[in-house]
Chain A
């Protein structure tokens, strides 16, 4: 009997306490971010709209290696390769279907030249699905993106004017990637 009375008191007071606690939430700050008026902060590494960047000299970084296309789990990237007069590879078309893209960032990880990068922008809504397909002209930006000062060919070397890698004046030998020795 005493236990039952105790239980009744505990149960009643716990219900009343819950109601009181919930009511006290009237005076708390609301957690909602009123989105279109108040934009939330997105960190630089946020995975949003994909761009193609240029190196500091203003040339395209992309070498049309197709690694991003291969890495893409939903096959939304399509690249067609072409060459310029020196034999350097370029993408002739670079097409990303953003209505398929899942913004996983695997393309950015796969890219050997830091050309393809994800940016903190997600406001890409369209009324027509076809407008979600971005061509190379839509993707290519003027800047260097998240890698300022990086130029793939300055690091990797390049054969110029009949001289192979490491054969030009004051140029270091290229790293032998077939050996483990330093």
Chain B
């Protein structure tokens, strides 16, 4: 007994802290590796090589880039709102990393087994909007502001279908707990009964982390660099790592919610989870390589006029079936 706490409790506390640290580091390292993987894969699909000089197959390119970005001048424009300008890139990192807390990598490896896991996820990804809006606003730059405004509209509207598409999964599992949802897919992966929900979640997730083809907030051709026009050095790097963390997060979510998470024969659970999640990370890159960016009004009307009704229909039908079966 130390300070009235039993040794068993301390041990479990330390173990939890360690597990959290490993998951945190793993996610950040995976996000950093995504930069290299993305460049290599884009190269592959555009009939070129991509970075292949630094280290084996260019895999140390990330290290070189990180070193460069750390030693860059950390410049804040004199016209910017300093405090907000500095906080903005941190928000996206923090919210995305917090969202990883409820992702069940294996039955035992999750930071917290929250019973409202999905709600927590949606809340965190909604808070991520602040990063982009504040970044765009505090830059005091018209391109950044336009990018931030677009993001606000895009992320808030796609949030709706993202939540609605997950309702079907929740109905089937009868729980908001991510672990329970994965366990409920033992018989059949959710992607089969919930295929429309999967498609909507894929699209909405893509819009949520503003990846191409939904990268309107930073559309280079029209907005210079969108909300991070004025950012440089490590603050710019944070936005980017945040974006790649977003890809990892959405891939993990698709895996856990629709593709049975750690479930799979022969291989250990974590390997299955990683393989499935990695497939979707690559798929997001393929989407970027293949698709074109829609116009802003097209994006909005596509969301509200097509995805919302489908998501609502999906919820209604799933609900009816669940009620009829019980």
Residues of A at the B interface (CB closer than 8 Å) are 8, 15, 18-19, 21-23, 25-26, 28-32, 34
The winner among B46, B47, B289, B290 for most chain A CB atoms within 10 A is B290
Contact status A23-B45, CB under 8 Å? yes
Contact status B286-A22, CB under 8 Å? yes
Across-interface contacts of A25 in B (CB, < 8 A)? 44-47
Across-interface contacts of A29 in B (CB, < 8 A)? 47
Q: Which of B43, B44, B48, B287 is in CB contact (< 8 Å) with A19?
A: B287
Across-interface contacts of B326 in A (CB, < 8 A)? none
Q: Categorize the interface residue count of chain B.
A: 10 to 19
6 closest A-B pairs by beta carbon, nearest first, are A22-B290, A19-B290, A32-B48, A25-B45, A18-B290, A31-B47
Query: Would you give the shortest CB distance from A134 to chain B, in whole angstroms?
Result: 30
Extra contacts besides A18-B291, A19-B286 (6): CB < 8 Å:
A19-B291, A21-B290, A25-B45, A25-B47, A30-B49, A34-B49
Across-interface contacts of B306 in A (CB, < 8 A)? 8
Residues of B at the A interface (CB closer than 8 Å) are 43-49, 286-287, 289-291, 306
Contact status B45-A26, CB under 8 Å? yes
Q: List 16 A-B contacts (CB under 8 A).
A: A8-B306, A15-B291, A18-B291, A19-B287, A21-B290, A22-B286, A23-B286, A25-B45, A25-B47, A29-B47, A30-B44, A30-B47, A31-B47, A31-B48, A32-B47, A34-B49
* Smallest CB gap from B288: residue in A: A22
Q: Interface majority SS on A: helix, strand, loop or mixed?
A: helix
Across-interface contacts of A21 in B (CB, < 8 A)? 290
Contact status A28-B291, CB under 8 Å? no
Contact status A22-B49, CB under 8 Å? no
Q: Provide the bound-state CA to CA distance between A177 and B309, in Å.
A: 88
Contact status A22-B47, CB under 8 Å? no
Across-interface contacts of B290 in A (CB, < 8 A)? 18-19, 21-23
Across-interface contacts of B286 in A (CB, < 8 A)? 19, 22-23
Query: Would you give the shortest CB distance from A17 to chain B, in whole angstroms?
Result: 9
Query: Would you give the shortest CB distance from A31 to chain B, in whole angstroms?
Result: 5
* Smallest CB gap from B42: residue in A: A22
Query: Would you give the shortest CB distance from B313 to chain A, in whole angstroms?
Result: 15
Query: Would you give the shortest CB distance from A18 to chain B, in whole angstroms?
Result: 5
Query: Would you give the shortest CB distance from A63 to chain B, in whole angstroms?
Result: 48
Q: Provide the bound-state CA to CA distance between A26 and B306, in Å.
A: 32
Query: Would you give the shortest CB distance from B294 to chain A, in whole angstroms?
Result: 10
Contact status A22-B48, CB under 8 Å? no
Contact status B291-A26, CB under 8 Å? no
Across-interface contacts of A23 in B (CB, < 8 A)? 45, 286, 290
Across-interface contacts of B47 in A (CB, < 8 A)? 25, 28-32
Query: Would you give the shortest CB distance from B210 to chain A, in whole angstroms?
Result: 18
Across-interface contacts of B48 in A (CB, < 8 A)? 30-32
Across-interface contacts of A31 in B (CB, < 8 A)? 47-48
* Smallest CB gap from A25: residue in B: B45
* Smallest CB gap from B199: residue in A: A12
Query: Would you give the shortest CB distance from A23 to chain B, in whole angstroms?
Result: 6
Query: Would you give the shortest CB distance from B153 to chain A, in whole angstroms?
Result: 22
Across-interface contacts of A8 in B (CB, < 8 A)? 306
Query: Would you give the shortest CB distance from B57 to chain A, in whole angstroms?
Result: 13
Across-interface contacts of A22 in B (CB, < 8 A)? 45, 286, 289-290
Q: Provide the bound-state CA to CA distance between A28 and B290, in Å.
A: 16
Across-interface contacts of A19 in B (CB, < 8 A)? 286-287, 290-291
Query: Would you give the shortest CB distance from B305 to chain A, in whole angstroms?
Result: 10
Query: Would you give the shortest CB distance from A26 to chain B, in whole angstroms?
Result: 6
Q: Provide the bound-state CA to CA distance between A119 and B291, in Å.
A: 44
* Smallest CB gap from B290: residue in A: A22
Q: Provide the bound-state CA to CA distance between A32 and B49, in Å.
A: 7
Query: Would you give the shortest CB distance from A154 to chain B, in whole angstroms?
Result: 52
Q: Provide the bound-state CA to CA distance between A32 and B40, in Å.
A: 13
The winner among A21, A26, A29 for most chain B CB atoms within 10 A is A26
Q: Provide the bound-state CA to CA distance between A15 and B213, in Å.
A: 11
* Smallest CB gap from A17: residue in B: B290
* Smallest CB gap from A31: residue in B: B47
Q: Provide the bound-state CA to CA distance between A32 and B43, in Å.
A: 10
Q: Provide the bound-state CA to CA distance between A26 and B285, in Å.
A: 13
